[in-house]
Amino acid sequence: MADKVTKGSCNCGEFTYQYTGEPLSIAMCFCKPCQKTAGPNGSVNIIVPNDASGKSVHCNFCVTCHTYVTVNVDAMEGVTVIKSGTIDGDVLGTPPGAEIYTRSRPAWCESKEGRAEFTGAFAA
């Protein structure tokens, strides 16, 4: 069976992406930059390996509608972070397996039991 292809796009549809197979991780992130784009209650991010082009652009957003779609973070080399709200079709069916940057998580955002937690990025 062929690997599942997941596609996504910005609000206006001009910026699109796709990845094949399962992501490396799905993590709920409470870092300040995520809070500024997605709100204080955590941004659910899909983490996939970088494609071969090795782009080093940091925030990849649509120049037309300004939706943040993907992010590359220096602290997490070799991966691209996809803002999970941008996937098209069905909503994200798999819950996050980890929570990161919990040091800036609001006290009213309780963690789900069993989820791996990191006060910063994934343990280096």
69 scored as a contact of Zn ion (CB under 5 A) = no
- Closest to Zn ion by CB, 21 vs 36, is 36
- Number of residues interacting with Zn ion: please give it, by CB under 5 A: 9
Report CA-CA distances (Å) from 34 to 6, 22, 30, 104. Answer: 22, 23, 6, 11
- Per-residue x/- mask for Zn ion, residues 70 to 109, rule CB under 5 A? ----------------------------------------
How would you class 123 by CB atoms within 10 Å of its CB: exposed for 0-12, middle for 13-18, buried for 19 or more? exposed
Structure tokens at 65: 């509608």
- 5-9 and 25-29 beta bridge pairing: unpaired
User: Shortest gap between Cβ of 123 and Zn ion (angstroms)?
Assistant: 16
Does residue 10 interact with Zn ion by CB under 5 A? Answer: yes
Q: How many CB atoms lie within 10 A of CB 93?
A: 6
Could you tell me the smallest distance in angstroms from the CB atom of residue 101 to Zn ion? 6
User: What residue ranges bind Zn ion (CB under 5 A)?
Assistant: 10, 12, 14, 29, 31, 34, 62, 64-65
